[in-house]
Structure 1
Amino acid sequence: MKDYFCERPLYPPVDFHRRFCMRIEIFYRILNDVVAHEPYFTQKIDACGRQGLSPEQKLTAVFRMLAHGCSSDSIDECCRLGESTTLECLRKFCSVIEVVYSQWYLRSPNLADLCRLLHKASCNGFPSMLGNLDCMHWEWKNYLGRPVYWLQA
């Protein structure tokens, strides 16, 4: 919590963006939407009167797994969530995201979307391409650090 989610966090917003691949404002927007839709993500008091896991802890674990491909048991070191809790958070998070955002973000593209995507791809040297794979996390076996030039037929 002191690293990112207090009035004067230990790390600046640029570090948050680097570690979670999003701005903190987007994180809070998603957090608020998820908490409003799914009671699992609200902080509760357990039978002994102790505070349970915070929504920030649960979403931090989920975003670390999604942004960097961390395993669920490695999350324990930074978020203090066990493997089974982390996996449950991820499963519930994905279900909530599908319900809350599917109408806009998971819809099929309309004609205006297709034209915009085709134009953007064409400007980048990939005419007629509607999508691509994000290859940032792939290790390229034969890459020698030289620029790659695309030839257009």
Structure 2
Amino acid sequence: MTSGSGACGSGGDVDARRRINEELRAYTSAEINRLIQEHLQQSVVPRPIHHRALAPRDHVIAHQRLFDDYFAEQQRFGENFFRRRFRMHQPLFMSIMNALERRYKYFRFREDASGRPGYTPIQKCTAAIRQLAHGGVADMFNEYLNIGETTARECVRYFCTGVIHIFGDRYLRKSIPEHCQALMDMHGFTTC
């Protein structure tokens, strides 16, 4: 009788455990679903979403204006204006721009992520060279080139890095005393 009642007792324990586990699972599942639904119904964002302010810039029109002014067959401004504004002759500008465009992806024309046309190599090199030639602030050509301040700074940084890497071995060599003396003599400096 003991063994018989013991078998029935252990079967009842298993049933009780199973019932408790099922009730616990049902309660836990219901509580999890309630919390999920409550969270989904909340429209509160944990932090404000800041959208980047975009200034409408038409890169194509700006490129066409720049091209018509300085690079077209019948350019609006002549070689003298180009020389004054860029502090170099147009063929030198074009050779630097072509070398940068061939070597660096940054100076190639491409579209941005939304499919809008980006800046042309002429626009990027113009922004860099005119900043370096005139020592102005980064956004001084915003109205003419339609290039923002950040992009203009990037143009200068990539331009300088590119010119150093491409032309450094040929043109940026260390000076020797004879060259320094020749330059000083050429400009009328006297040595003590």
Matched residue count: 126
AA aligned to 1:37 is R
Cα RMSD, aligned residues only: 1.8
Give the drift of 1:49.
Answer: 4.1
Look up the match of 2:108. Answer: 42
Cα gap change, 1:68 to 1:7, in 2 (>3 Å)? same
Report the residue type matching 2:74 in the other structure.
R
Report which stretch shifted further, 22-31 or 37-46. Answer: 37-46
- 1:64 maps onto 2:127 in alignment: no
Match of 1:121 in 2: 184
Shift of 1:19: 0.6
Which structure's CA Rg is the greater one?
2
Q: Quick one: distance in 2 between partners of 1:39 and 1:93?
A: 12
Give TM-score scaled by structure 2 length.
0.60
Please give the alpha-carbon distance, in whole angstroms, between the structure 2 residues aligned to 1:123 and 1:64.
27
1:16 maps to which of 82, 98, 103: 82
- Structure 2 unaligned regions, length at least 5: 1-66
Question: Hey, which bits of structure 1, 4+ residues long, moved more than 6 A?
Answer: none
Q: Which has the higher contact order (CA 8 A, sep 6+)?
A: 2
Give the match for residue 154 of structure 2.
88
Task: Write out per-residue CA displacement over residues 64-85 of structure 1, whole angstroms, 9 at most, x where no aligned residue.
Answer: 1101112112221111101111
Which TM-score applies when normalising by structure 1?
A: 0.74
Looking at structure 2, the residues matched to 51 and 122 of structure 1 have their Cα atoms a distance apart, in angstroms, of 51
How many angstroms does 1:16 deviate by? Answer: 0.3
Distance 1:123 1:25 in 2: 27
Structure 1 residues 103 and 61 mapped into 2: Cα distance closer, same or farther (>3 Å)? same
Cα distance in 2 for partners of 1:98, 1:116 equals 21
Of 152, 168, 174, the residue aligned with 1:108 is 174
Structure 1 or 2: larger helix share? 2
Q: Could you tell me the percent identity over the aligned residues? A: 35
Deviation at 1:116, TM superposition (A): 4.2
Matched residues in 1 for 2:161 and 2:179: separation? Answer: 29
